[in-house]
């Protein structure tokens, strides 16, 4: 470090210290210089919008007539808490994520275990399972929409084999859009859970299994008492990330063909879709900003709750 | 006790489930490919059967109505510039936070981590208002500049760089290397695995982004493949369904080919995000 060169010039201590100090501050300058792009961008695209979002919640603001700035105090907040569409959208997203998060991680675990046990063709199967992860949501929702449509292959086969009485127009149903989207999303994302849990499986010490086998523990008992507890850090990570991203769902409902209010009965309205509708359909920018803040607070609280619920050693 | 027989039984079950899963995951892509070479009425009335005869009218229709190459060009401009900028600038910041001593470093890194806790939805409206006032709506840099360096990339690269032994850096410094040379000639080459991870995640994120282009790239000449596909889908009448499927296939296949060649890097990138 800078000290080594200072020691080399010890015969002239004052000059040496000066040089060390100069070298050190030059290093400091490099440090600041290297992080300066981030600091600059964060001030402009992080801090400023953050403050602006608080500011906007106290006003009505419209893109159409930007000169009409009206101060409304906490009016947007009161409106938000009383807005039945906001609560509907929150209900929808929890309904959707409840199904999605369980299915995605259960299937991720199942296929991680299968790949762990499979001696041959593991890479081939992993390649296939992971394929939907890299394909865009727009493409997958387009495929999923037609696969599940009344004239699509799934319903046609269900009718042909007597599993379904007739065409189901799920998009217009009050209860079906959210589970259908959760299924399509499971198809897209279970591969991520799978590779993360598979990496976790390979990190488990095989001696644990050997010891359990000597004690006579069956495969199921080993799975229940060794595999699952050992994978807790991975599950914790997955659940935290799933919830943060899942509650902000927009593209799925928008591109699968619902209007900005999520259909005639708001059956597919998600909070971010509602925020988009308020901002860009109704031009209620102040209110939309309030919705963004409200949702951010809900997500932050739930994330903190997850950190509370999971024991510290399991993260 | 017949251990070998039991092993065979469970092996059969494992492979049966693996094959079943493979069929379920792959079938939708097969369905997409088949529909792209069927006729419109056949897509509607015979969804489960193979095409009776292969037709490329869907592809011809797409190229007549949608400038596919232009969409690709726009998506590539965005994804490549965001990936290069983000990987390089994030690596720079990561190097400083990992290996250069400077006052306030711990505070700065703690602050970076804290900013990751704020959900992105909060920034949606104010950022749009800001970019709208700047007059950037409709321009590529509205999407490129805010993504030029991100905390998540810095964090991933920093975790890797911290593990590089200090002796390597000291040796290079004794040879007279300054921080710029150290960064470019020592740290960047050493960090190649994590840089690949960050580059892949950034590229996929930008290539597959829909909301960003929807908000900021509203003119057809700036559409990306994702936005173009969506607009195309909503403008096509049902009897021309084969065109939707041809367009979907055309924007999916190149990415899947890239994935097949780089699949180990892709899966590793996603597996690495959970390593703390």
pLDDT bracket for residue B236 (50, 70, 90): confident
What local confidence, expressed as pLDDT, does residue A21 receive? Answer: 79
Q: How far is CA A269 from CA A63, A93, A276, B214, in A?
A: 23, 8, 11, 18
pLDDT tens digits, B181-210 = 999 999 999 999 999 999 999 999 999 999
Nearest CA in chain A to B99: A31
Nearest-neighbour CA in chain A from B254: distance (Å): 10
What local confidence, expressed as pLDDT, does residue A141 receive? Answer: 96
Please report residues of B whose CB lies closer than 8 A to that of A238: 274
Helices (H), B37-120: 40-45, 57-65, 68-99, 105-116
Q: What is the mean pLDDT of residues B12-36?
A: 95
Q: Is the CB of residue B139 less than 8 Å away from at least one CB of chain A?
A: no
Mutation choice for A interface testing from B1, B267, B272 by most A CBs within 10 A: B267
Please report residues of B whose CB lies closer than 8 A to that of A117: 10, 14
What local confidence, expressed as pLDDT, does residue B7 receive? Answer: 58
pLDDT bracket for residue B40 (50, 70, 90): confident
| Contact check, Cβ <8 Å, B128/A127 | no
**pLDDT beneath 70, residues of chain A:** 1-19, 313-315
Q: What is the mean pLDDT of residues B151-174?
A: 92
| Full set of structural domains in chain A with CATH | 2-56 (no CATH), 82-314 (1.10.3720.10)
> Environment class of residue A112 by beta-carbon count within 10 Å: exposed (0-12), middle (13-18) or buried (19+)?
buried
pLDDT at B268 over 70: yes
What local confidence, expressed as pLDDT, does residue A174 receive? Answer: 94
What local confidence, expressed as pLDDT, does residue B63 receive? Answer: 85
> Would you give the distance in Å from CA B271 to the centre of its chain?
14
| Contact check, Cβ <8 Å, B100/A30 | yes
| Contact check, Cβ <8 Å, B122/A35 | no
What local confidence, expressed as pLDDT, does residue A7 receive? Answer: 43
What local confidence, expressed as pLDDT, does residue B66 receive? Answer: 85
Q: Phi/psi of residue A165, each to 5°?
A: -70, -25
Partner-chain residue, chosen from B10, B92, B263, that has the shortest CB–CB distance to A127: B263
**Structure-token pair, residue A151:** 């004239």
Q: Are β-strands A70-71 and A59-60 bridged in parallel, bridged antiparallel, or unpaired?
A: antiparallel
pLDDT bracket for residue B46 (50, 70, 90): confident
**Structure-token pair, residue B215:** 């908000």
Q: Is the CB of residue A217 less than 8 Å away from at least one CB of chain B?
A: no
pLDDT bracket for residue B222 (50, 70, 90): very high
Partner-chain residue, chosen from A31, A135, A195, that has the shortest CB–CB distance to B105: A31
Q: Is the CB of residue A111 less than 8 Å away from at least one CB of chain B?
A: yes
Q: Is the CB of residue B56 less than 8 Å away from at least one CB of chain A?
A: no
Nearest CA in chain A to B128: A49
What local confidence, expressed as pLDDT, does residue A18 receive? Answer: 59
Mutation choice for B interface testing from A105, A140, A146 by most B CBs within 10 A: A146
How does the average pLDDT of chain B come out, rounded?
Answer: 90
> Environment class of residue A183 by beta-carbon count within 10 Å: exposed (0-12), middle (13-18) or buried (19+)?
middle
């Amino acid at each position: 470090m800078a000290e080594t060169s200072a020691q080399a010039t010890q015969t002239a201590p004052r000059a040496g210290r000066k040089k060390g100090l100069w070298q050190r501050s030059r290093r400091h300058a490099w440090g600041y210089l290297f992080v300066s792009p981030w600091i600059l961008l964060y001030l402009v695209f992080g801090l400023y919008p953050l403050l602006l979002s608080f500011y906007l919640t106290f006003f009505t603001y419209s893109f159409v007539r930007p000169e009409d700035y009206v101060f409304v105090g906490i009016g947007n907040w009161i409106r938000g808490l009383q807005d039945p569409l906001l609560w509907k959208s929150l209900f929808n997203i929890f309904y959707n994520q409840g199904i999605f998060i369980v299915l995605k991680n259960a299937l991720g675990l199942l296929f991680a275990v299968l790949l762990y046990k499979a001696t041959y063709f593991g890479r081939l199967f992993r390649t296939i399972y992971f394929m939907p992860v890299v394909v865009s949501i727009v493409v997958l929702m387009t495929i999923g929409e037609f696969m599940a449509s009344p004239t699509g292959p799934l319903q046609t086969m269900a009718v042909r084999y007597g599993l379904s009485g007739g065409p189901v127009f799920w998009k217009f149903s009050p209860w079906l859009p959210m589970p259908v989207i959760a299924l399509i999303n499971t198809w897209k994302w279970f591969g991520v859970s799978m590779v993360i849990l598979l990496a976790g499986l390979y990190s488990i010490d095989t001696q644990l299994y050997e010891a359990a086998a000597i004690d006579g523990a069956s495969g199921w008992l080993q799975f229940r008492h060794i595999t699952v507890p050992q994978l807790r850090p991975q599950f914790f990570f997955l659940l935290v990330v799933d919830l943060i991203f899942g509650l902000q769902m927009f593209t799925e409902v928008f591109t699968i063909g619902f209007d900005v209010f999520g259909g005639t009965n708001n059956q597919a309205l998600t909070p971010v879709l509602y925020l988009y509708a308020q901002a860009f359909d109704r031009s209620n920018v102040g209110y939309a900003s309030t919705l963004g803040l409200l949702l951010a607070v809900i997500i932050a609280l739930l994330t903190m709750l997850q950190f509370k619920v999971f024991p510290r050693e399991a993260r | 006790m017949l251990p070998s027989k039991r092993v065979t039984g469970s092996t059969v079950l494992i492979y049966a489930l693996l094959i079943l899963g493979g069929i379920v995951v792959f079938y939708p892509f097969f369905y997409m490919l088949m529909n792209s070479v069927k006729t419109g009425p056949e897509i509607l009335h015979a969804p489960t059967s193979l095409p009776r005869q292969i037709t490329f009218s869907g592809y011809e229709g797409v190229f007549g109505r949608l400038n596919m190459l232009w969409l690709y060009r726009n998506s590539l401009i965005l994804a490549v510039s965001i990936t290069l900028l983000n990987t390089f600038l994030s690596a720079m910041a990561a190097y400083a936070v990992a290996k250069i001593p400077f006052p306030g470093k711990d505070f700065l890194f703690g602050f970076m981590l804290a900013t990751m806790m704020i959900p992105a939805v909060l920034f949606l409206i104010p950022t749009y208002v800001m970019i709208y006032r700047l007059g950037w709506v409709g321009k590529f840099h509205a999407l490129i500049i805010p993504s030029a360096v991100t905390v998540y990339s810095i964090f991933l690269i920093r975790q890797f760089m911290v593990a590089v032994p200090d002796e390597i850096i000291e040796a290079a410094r004794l040879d007279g290397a300054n921080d710029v040379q150290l960064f470019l000639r020592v740290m960047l080459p050493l960090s190649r695995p994590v840089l690949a991870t960050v580059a892949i995640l950034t590229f996929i994120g930008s290539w597959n982004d829909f909301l960003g282009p929807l908000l900021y790239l509203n003119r057809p000449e700036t559409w990306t493949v994702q936005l173009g596909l969506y607009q195309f889908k909503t403008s096509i009448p049902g009897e021309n369904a084969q065109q939707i499927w041809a367009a979907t296939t055309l924007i999916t296949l190149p990415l899947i080919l890239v994935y097949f060649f780089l699949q180990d890097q892709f899966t590793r990138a996603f597996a690495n995000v959970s390593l703390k």
